[in-house]
Amino acid sequence: MKSLITISAFVALAWGCLTACGGDDEPSSKTNDSANLSVSEMTFTADGGSQTATVTTNHEWSAYASQSWVTVSPTSSVNQNATLTVTAAANTTYETRTATVTLMAGTARATITVNQAAAEKPATTDTIQAPLEGYTLVWNDEFNEGSTPGADWTYEVQGAGWVNNELQAYTKTNDVATVSNGTLKITCKKVNDKIYSARLYAKKTTGWKYGYIEASIKLPTGKGTWPAFWMMPVNFSSWPADGEIDIMEEVGYNPNVVVSTIHCNKYNNTGTSVESASKSVSTAQTQFHKYAVEWTASYMTFYVDGTSILTYRNDGTGKDAWPFDANFYVILNLAWGGDWGGAQGVDESCLPATMEVDYVRVFQKE
């Protein structure tokens, strides 16, 4: 009987201990980790790029992306307040895509949804709309095939100083003209202490007489660059008597200012508003813009993104003022330095520099 009383007392003591240990004073096993991101969604164009978010945590953290086309930097840090850079690669598919970036800080999680637009489908002859009523497409290059310019293009091959005191040599080698992902890239580069670039002619032996000639171009950056989209006569004998049509030019020391100009005996770099006009395009070096001329027997009107910036008229006085009644061919080139491009010096640190062309199109009236 005594031993039973002793055992009962022990059980009561143990139960009292358990009850006391499980009361309100029991330490919590839960954590207070936090993970916060300043944005919950990012949207990218098909070209890709980078965006940033601010990380705020009370713990060391790491981050990762659910898809390989998205990368994050840094992938981990002990800094509780930091900047996370999210980079999306170019989307070359014709479908939109989505990924998730996850931030982990201890047991806490935060996410960013990453959306990216689809690549633009290549244009076909059937889908290309004429910019003006009465015109139809007669020739185009969308640069959707091959790795170099096609058979309609001819390369100029000349040494440095050949024209305008330009510093580059024009060549067909050194990958100065390549085609990829739906665009033509004309690249000016330094190779073994020499500067090389490309100057390309479309349908040089035939050209076109009159029409609406348009190209979509993203310009290069850097002091010394001199990109151009222009036209010269097929049957050339002397300049400026036979004429020159400069649809678009820009020089790197005056970035994002595009210029349209005509040259003939009567007007040749005289600086008048009759022969030349300029327009500031703030994203000319970061985005594609449309440069065009409508050329008829009586006038030429130059356009930037569909907006007229210059109209030059045939005054009826003859060839000195209007040599533009012959066939002309299209030229794309990227010069380095020279009388205009190098007027304020050059900066070789910007090389290689690339002029990117989405398409060239020629429309004529039926």
Please give the positions annotated as active site: 244, 249
User: What tokens does 360 get?
Assistant: 């060239």
CA-CA-CA-CA torsion sign (306, 311, 316, 318): negative
Pure H helices in 197-308: none
Name the 3-class secondary structure at 271: coil
Give how far Cα 199 sits from Cα of 150, 187, 267, Å: 14, 10, 25
Give how far Cα 352 sits from Cα of 33, 153, 178, 222, 336, Å: 48, 23, 14, 10, 11
Quickly tell me which residue has 């009987």 as its tokens. Answer: 1
If phi > 0 it is left, if psi is from -120 to 50 it is alpha, else beta; for residue 203 that is left
Give how far Cα 183 sits from Cα of 96, 141, 143, 146, 218, Å: 20, 10, 5, 11, 10
Beta bridge partners of 213: 293, 362
